[in-house]
Amino acid sequence: MASRCLRIGEMILLWYFITCSEVSGETAETCHSPVYLELGKPGKIQCLFPGGFHSVQWYDAEDIFGETPIITYDESIKKDGPGYSSGEFDIDPNGSLIIRNVSIEHETTFTVTLFQTTQQRPQHYQVHVKTVVYLELGKPGTLPCTFPNGFHTLQWYDADDIFGETAILTCNELRDKSGPGYTSGEFDIDPNGSLIIRNVSIEHETTFTVTMFQTLQQLPQHYQVHVKTIAKPLQNRPVVSSCENTPGSCYIEWTQSAIVNCQIKHSRPAINITWSSRNPSSDNIVQSEHVSSSDATTHTTAVMLQEPSMYQMNMSLYVCKADDPIGLLEKNETTVLLEKKDINWSQIPVNEVHVERFSNVNLSCTQRSPRIVVWKKGESVKNLVTTVYDVPSEGNFTSSIPDRWELEANSSLTIHIVQIEDESTYACHSYDIKMESFDVYNLKVIVYPSPAYPVHWIGVPMIRLPTQ
């Protein structure tokens, strides 16, 4: 392929027509097609050969008769071919083709030849690749399309079928520009031939075609660029109700009537989200109710947690996950710590702790390395308020810690330079997969008198002065 856009209108010999089928109750070896790959990023043409293979050969052509494979791979894990030597292509151990940097020239039909064994005839599979440009609404955008050998004239069209259409922009070898799209200021062209959209709108989500005249004596060549418009959501991660202002962590005291809602507002395209319960070994999708809405250009998706088992546990972790293949979000999940609000703390034995003012005190949890720990403080067990929580397995999933407090590695709580106002009831709620523990402390602050002995006052007689 001499140029970097997809040629259309050329005569193609269809040598193989490959479909996904089932053979003897088992899924046949398959390659997913079509595959959409984003320009300027690494891409993979995913193939799965459950029966293994002796070797595979990849071609960047539909008719491979007389063609040289761009990359080959055999069971000895040896890779070869001009595409591999140049660094343009690589191959996955499962046989999938890796494109290190997707360009317009990769919008074509790739063929893979599979040799199951040296004795069997090869099998052939084809994958149609479509390259996509994602342009953000309301911002300038570029449709990358370069011509290494230069051009005499370029004509850009905002249509797939250009028969009878008028070019929106024309540019010649002297870089003279014309056309209604250029005159209106909607479009411009880069010196390398790429089309520039000055302000991307929803109307630009279409297939653009460029006609390239190499010389006046040659027939023109036609290439296409597919445009998808995007809009980043208002927040850069899934947002859970009641936790909008705590992006690093989310703690909710809940009752059975409470609604735990997760949503992503105003994205394009819509981003699917799900609730899962988080365990040390895996995340399991749980029952939830999905709601979605749309305006003229963007979508809002929401999912409400309805996991029955959450009502049977005092504390658990859930995660709201977003399926975001385009990368509109900075983080694809938000973890939530749910703790029952109506725990009966009055049934827990209270440990009396006395500590001298200005000294340090350490209050321990029964579990030394719990998966989750929550520390509470209050005047009594009847009005405890969550003050500190930590989930070590989630990295920085930790609440802010009051001054002079320190949460130790073993989940115990140290209060430094104890003050009179620290005199309160403290409670630790710790949890792992096998055990849940509760600890309550009644902290009393001791203040010794100064001086530390009785003081006798000597009275001084009062003298009444005569009045005048």
Q: Which two three-digit tokens encode residue 86?
A: 């140049």
Q: Measured between alpha carbons, how far is 61 from 12 in angstroms, rounded to an integer? A: 10
With beta carbons less than 8 A apart as the criterion, state whether 314 and 431 touch.
yes
DSSP 71-131: EEEETT--EESHHHHTTSEEE-TTS-EEESS--GGG-SEEEEEEESSSSSPPEEEEEEEEE
| Alpha-carbon distance values, 85 to 45, 69, 72, 99, 297 (Å) | 19, 12, 11, 13, 44
Q: Measured between alpha carbons, how far is 403 from 418 in angstroms, rounded to an integer? A: 11
Q: What pLDDT score was predicted for residue 7?
A: 44
Q: Which two three-digit tokens encode residue 378?
A: 């209050």
Q: What pLDDT score was predicted for residue 17?
A: 30
Mean pLDDT by 10 residues, the chain (468 residues): 43 30 37 86 89 90 94 88 96 92 88 89 91 94 84 93 94 91 96 94 94 89 90 93 79 85 95 91 89 94 84 86 92 92 92 96 89 93 92 80 91 95 96 88 92 70 61
Q: What pLDDT score was predicted for residue 159?
A: 94
- Tell me: the pLDDT tens digits for 36-62? 898 888 999 998 887 788 899 999 999
Q: Which two three-digit tokens encode residue 363?
A: 């209050």
DSSP 33-68: -SEEEETTS-EEE-EE-TT--SEEEEESSS--TTPP
Q: Which two three-digit tokens encode residue 142?
A: 């570029």
Half-sphere exposure in the Cβ direction for 401 (13 Å, CA):
17
Q: What pLDDT score was predicted for residue 462?
A: 61
Enumerate residues 6+ apart whose C-beta is below 8 A from 87: 100
Give bridge partners of residue 354 from the DSSP assignment: 444
Q: What pLDDT score was predicted for residue 466?
A: 64
Q: What pLDDT score was predicted for residue 20?
A: 30
With beta carbons less than 8 A apart as the criterion, state whether 187 and 169 touch.
yes
Q: Does the N-terminal peptide bond of residue 449 adopt cis geometry, omega within 30 degrees of 0?
A: no
Give backbone dihedrals phi and psi of 211, rounded to 5 degrees, phi first. -105, 125
CB atoms near residue 396 (< 10 Å): 8
194: exposed, middle or buried (C-beta count within 10 Å: 0-12, 13-18, 19+)?
Answer: buried
Task: Identify the CA nearest to 105 among candidates 140, 131, 70.
Answer: 131
